[in-house]
Structure 1
Amino acid sequence: MGGVEQALKEALTIDGALGVALVDLSSGMALGTLGHAADLDLTLAAAGSTDLVRATRRANELQNRPGEATEDILTTLTHQYHLIRPLTGPGGEGLFLYLVLDRARSNLALARHHVRRIETGLAV
């Protein structure tokens, strides 16, 4: 099991990764951020993504689909993917991993797989 810093460093090894944050859903505060894109404010993006996670959860509740959980949420921009992974493992409830990928340099399917693997090893 790894800590927050180790999980963030591992996420940045994903091809095309520009930045990553671990975010508390109740407050919108980033518990940790790591990235190298000059034009990317991870703290601000993480806070804004909190609203997206909450809205997705509300929509799922309204549809009343027992046993269905959100695995990830994807926002596709012209040059980037923003991947949100709500955490479900022990100690991860109420948190989500927020990953920004360079669209030209990343493989979305592999990134999703890698993020799932990071989640299983994360101890908060």
Structure 2
Amino acid sequence: MRQDIRLGEGVRVPGIDACLDEAMALPGARGAAVVDWTSGLALGTAGEPPGGDQEAAAAETAELARAAAELPTFTPDAWDGAAPGPGVGGGAGAGAGSGGGNGAAGGKGLPVEDVIVSTRDGYHVLCFVDTTFDSSVFLHLWLDRDTGNLALARIRVRQLAERLVLG
């Protein structure tokens, strides 16, 4: 049974547990987490963590997500120079946490959709969750390289992230 969370004035999102259950149903899924990239804390986890430690995995993937979302190398034209979001040091190109109106093409959303890291034995898919407020949440799916399907996982994780839109 899918459980939804109510966040005030009629805003409903699928529960984190339901989202993680769906992620773990993907072929080759080894572990999944919903992580806040500002704090590095896991909001929910399922399966086994990369390296064997949920907290360390969340903190380390948050560093990668933060770099991709905030550094001008990856998002040179995406931000209009607005005030930096939570945990951002400022400067040109910063502000990935500043929410809704400053985003990439189309004028909204985060400038980075996802980050994919290939390792010798697996794939890590980090997919940002776009919201209308100061969001710093991403989904992390860890796939086995031999049994996972990276293309399918990327599509499905994006669909899960879209359903987790909070605003």
Instruction: Name the TM-score class by shorter chain.
Output: 0.7 to 0.9
Instruction: Tell whether 2:46 aligns with 1:40.
Output: no
Separation in structure 1 between the aligned mates of residue 133 and residue 17 of structure 2, nearest angstrom: 15
Q: 1:56 to 1:36 in 2, by over 3 A?
A: closer
Separation in structure 2 between the aligned mates of residue 76 and residue 92 of structure 1, nearest angstrom: 29
2:135 to 84, 89, 93: 93
CA RMSD of aligned residues (A): 2.4
How far residue 8 of structure 1 moved from its aligned partner, in angstroms, is 0.5
Runs of 4+ off more than 3 Å: 36-40, 60-63, 89-92
How far residue 2 of structure 1 moved from its aligned partner, in angstroms, is 1.2
Instruction: Tell whether 2:116 aligns with 1:74.
Output: yes
How far residue 31 of structure 1 moved from its aligned partner, in angstroms, is 0.5
Letter in 1 for 2:145: R
How far residue 58 of structure 1 moved from its aligned partner, in angstroms, is 2.7
Separation in structure 2 between the aligned mates of residue 38 and residue 65 of structure 1, nearest angstrom: 33
| Greater share of residues in helix | 1
Instruction: Tell whether 2:107 aligns with 1:65.
Output: no
Q: 1:37 to 1:29 in 2, by over 3 A?
A: closer
Kept after mapping to 2: 8 A contact 1:4/1:123: no
Kept after mapping to 1: 8 A contact 2:51/2:57: no
Gaps of at least 5 residues in structure 1 are none
Rg (Cα) greater in structure:
2
How far residue 71 of structure 1 moved from its aligned partner, in angstroms, is 1.1
Q: Aligned pair count? A: 124
**Identity of paired residues, percent?**
35
Kept after mapping to 2: 8 A contact 1:20/1:34: yes
Instruction: Tell whether 2:116 aligns with 1:104.
Output: no
| TM superposition score normalised by structure 2 | 0.66
Separation in structure 1 between the aligned mates of residue 20 and residue 40 of structure 2, nearest angstrom: 17
